[in-house]
Structure 1
Amino acid sequence: MREPNYPLALALAQAGWSNSETARRINRRAEQAGQHGVAVDRSRVSRWIRRGEKPRQPVPELLAALLTEHLGQPYTPRLLGIAPVHSVCISMGEIEHQALLSKAAAANLPVEDYARALLRSALSGGLHR
């Protein structure tokens, strides 16, 4: 389970929108924009907030635009914690995998978090060739 999405919860509270109202506004905006495949309900909005789930496109952009208009300040999917997440799949041998698990355990981190930190470090120039 992911962490709750506090930035989204705060923005919706500032707007005074319930989960049902948020869903209704998103669905209406999507329909107005000709995006008929969008069908958000209150339970989906709740999962975005409580479980940190990410809505599929075009919902992040629609919601950011709605909040920007309603609250009069700029919001983006990233600021709201609902920007799409990009994932990478890496194949590795058993020895590499065990080494990764061992290093993550030594760092007291879940293996996914440890691997993410390694990748970020490499991309920022923190690791040398």
Structure 2
Amino acid sequence: MSTPNYPLALAIATAGWSNHETARLINDRAQQGGYRGVAIDHSRVGRWIRLGEKPRPPVPELLAGLLSERLGQSYTPELLRLAPGRRVRVLLDAAEHEALVAVAAAANVPVEEYVRALLRSALSPYKGAT
């Protein structure tokens, strides 16, 4: 079962790019960087968004760089869900799970995205600290 890539869709929409423009920018950046095997088209970008397909390197890094430049904030392949993420398993009791699902539904956000946002918010004071 495929899952839409909402973070990528939001970033591209915020940049004001169409799928055509996104593909063109990636191809241009790849050519400038000497990557000969990159040939992205608009339908591929659409599959990344609609189906959650993940492009092969160096495309995630190129796209994250383009979006970072355009939007003035740091994007990574992981934040854009273009790279394999690390999974964490958290066991919740039934009441905790129901509460989490209810809050995510009220926010009209998939529960997985809501949990990621909660974790990022909780961990942001510690980001970069080792």
TM-score by length of 1: 0.65
1:37 aligned residue: 37
* Distance in structure 1 (CA, Å) of the matches to 2:36 and 2:22: 17
Give the Cα separation in 2 of the matches to 1:7 and 1:84.
Answer: 14
Shift of 1:2: 1.4
What corresponds to 2:13 in structure 1? 13
* Matches of 2:31 and 2:80, distance apart in 1: 22
Work out the CA distance in 1 between the residues paired with 2:42 and 2:22: 8
Deviation readout 1:25-64 (Å, 9 max, x if unpaired):
0000000000011000000000000000000000000000
Q: Tell me by how many angstroms 1:85 deviates.
A: 6.6
2:84 and 2:59 map into 1 onto residues whose CA distance is 10
User: Take 2:55 and 2:85, find their aligned partners in 1: how far apart are those partners?
Assistant: 10
- Contact kept, 8 Å, 1:26 with 1:63, in 2: the verdict is yes
Q: For the pair shown, which has the larger CA radius of gyration, 1 or 2? A: 1
Give the match for residue 68 of structure 2. 68
What TM-score, normalized to structure 2? 0.64
Aligned residues: 86
Aligned position for 1:4: 4
5 Å matches for 1:97-116?
none
SS of the aligned residue for 2:28 comes to: helix
Instruction: Give the % identical residues.
Output: 71
Within a 5 Å distance, the mapping from 1:50-89 to structure 2 comes to 50-84=50-84
Counterparts of 1:74 and 1:15 in 2: how far apart (Å)?
A: 13
Q: Gaps (5+ residues) in structure 1?
A: 87-129
Corresponding letter in the other structure for 1:62: L
How far apart are the structure 2 equivalents of 1:3 and 1:57?
A: 21
Q: What's the offset of the Cα at 1:84? A: 4.0
Query: What amino acid is the match of 1:37?
Result: G
